[in-house]
Amino acid sequence: SKKDGKSERPPIYIPNDGILNLDDFIGVYLDELRQGKFWGIAWDLAALGEALPVKDVFRARYDHMYCSSSLLPAVVLDTISDVACPNASEPSDHLPVCASFVRNKV
């Protein structure tokens, strides 16, 4: 279906018995791949003892902060990691990002 010209993903239903069949299980992973969430699959494979080779640390930002023209960013904390996350120092693959804003006097 479409909403505002964008395709909507169908809702996810958990089976009544709480057990996914093989097709459902594969579908979860295919959906993650389509969304670019390769790290989730890499994490699961590593947990099963089948780690994928690591060529380099992923360096990109998906986080965004939005504000109106009445505010200006004053300070931005952009957290990065030089090693793959999660790790001993960063227990999540979601690193914090924060900002402080001031009023735009224009």
What is the token pair recorded at 10? 């169908």
* Helices within 1-106 (DSSP H only): 22-34, 38-47
> Could you report the per-residue pLDDT of 1-43, keeping only the tens digit for each?
455 656 676 666 777 888 888 888 888 888 888 887 777 788 7
pTM above 0.75, yes or no: no
Reported confidence tier of residue 104, pLDDT bands at 50, 70, 90: very high
Report the alpha-carbon distance of residue 26 to residue 78 in Å, rounded. 35
Name the amino acid, one letter, at 80.
I
**What CA–CA distance (Å, rounded) separates 106 from 96?**
31
pLDDT tens, position by position, 45-87: 888 888 888 777 666 666 778 888 899 989 988 787 877 777 7
Angstrom distance (rounded) from CA 77 to CA 56: 23
Note the residue count of the chain: 106
